[in-house]
A and B are shown apart, each in its own frame.
Chain A
Amino acid sequence: EDKVVQSPLSLVVHEGDTVTLNCSYEVTNFRSLLWYKQEKKAPTFLFMLTSSGIEKKSGRLSSILDKKELFSILNITATQTGDSAIYLCAVDSFGNEKLTFGTGTRLTIIP
């Protein structure tokens, strides 16, 4: 069975700090890894990663995948209070249409 583990489970930092969120996985026939941000309601998409070593970047957020070591990280620099949310990592595999989600990391930014 596919498995996704995120760490830390929760993180509290001050505004302006940089944070790194981790996602490790065990899946059969890996296809892609996705990061989502969930505030109060539905998750919103951040990144989809399919290849190792290629950084994806969007503003202060960036993410990279390591398919050899089976993990991904999500970096957020110069954090702002609006970054407070649950960050979810999910993995997609060939032959299985569903996404397997990790437990999420609850990030809290203190002003």
Chain B
Amino acid sequence: GAVVSQHPSWVICKSGTSVKIECRSLDFQATTMFWYRQFPKQSLMLMATSNEGSKATYEQGVEKDKFLINHASLTLSTLTVTSAHPEDSSFYICSARVNRDTEAFFGQGTRLTVV
């Protein structure tokens, strides 16, 4: 199957700093990628849809100025958590599909801890 690589797999940062998470489709081009957040023992919560060459579409309640998404190429989307606070600590996962007739492939996820 297609491979989606997410980096880093875990990161610890200080409150007030920014953290960038990368999501790459390794063997296919993804015009659209998705960013999710997952709290312990809960399901995936879609944060935003990342569109190559255009602005991301954010879900209701997600602060676009805090969670900056850039989809600069057909194989790379980045999520930057700006001015991180302890409540931003979570598991962030990206996904992409080859096309609408295939399943979504997920990155390995990034566990962010803000101290």
Kindly supply a per-residue 1/0 record for chain B positions 76-107, scoring 1 wherever the CB is within 8 Å of any chain A CB and 0 otherwise. Answer: 00000000000000000101000010111111
Q: In the complex, which residues of chain B have a beta carbon less than 8 angstroms from the beta carbon of A92?
A: 100
B49 within 8 A of A: yes
Interface extent on A, as a size class?
Answer: 20 to 34
CB distance from A102 to the nearest CB of B (A): 6
Interface size class of B (residues with CB under 8 A): 20 to 34
Q: Which residues of A contact B109 (CB under 8 A)?
A: 41-42
Chain A positions within 8 Å of B49 at CB level: 97-98
> A43 an interface residue at 8 Å Cβ cutoff?
yes
- Asked if B44 and A43 make an inter-chain contact with CB atoms under 8 angstroms apart, the answer reads yes
Whether B32 sits at the interface, judged by CB under 8 Å, is yes
- Which of A45, A98, A101 is most buried by chain B, counting CB atoms within 10 A of its CB? A98
Q: Is A31 an interface residue (CB 8 A)?
A: yes
What 6 additional pairs, Cβ within 8 angstroms, besides A41-B108, A43-B44, A44-B106? Answer: A41-B109, A42-B6, A90-B104, A99-B34, A103-B42, A104-B42
A-B contact pairs, 14 of them (CB 8 A): A41-B9, A41-B108, A42-B6, A42-B108, A42-B109, A48-B102, A86-B43, A88-B44, A97-B49, A98-B34, A99-B95, A101-B43, A102-B43, A103-B42
Q: Footprint of A on B, CB under 8 Å?
A: 1, 6, 9, 32, 34, 41-44, 46, 49, 93, 95, 100, 102-109
Q: Which residues of A contact B (CB under 8 A)?
A: 31, 34, 41-45, 48, 86, 88, 90, 92, 97-104, 106
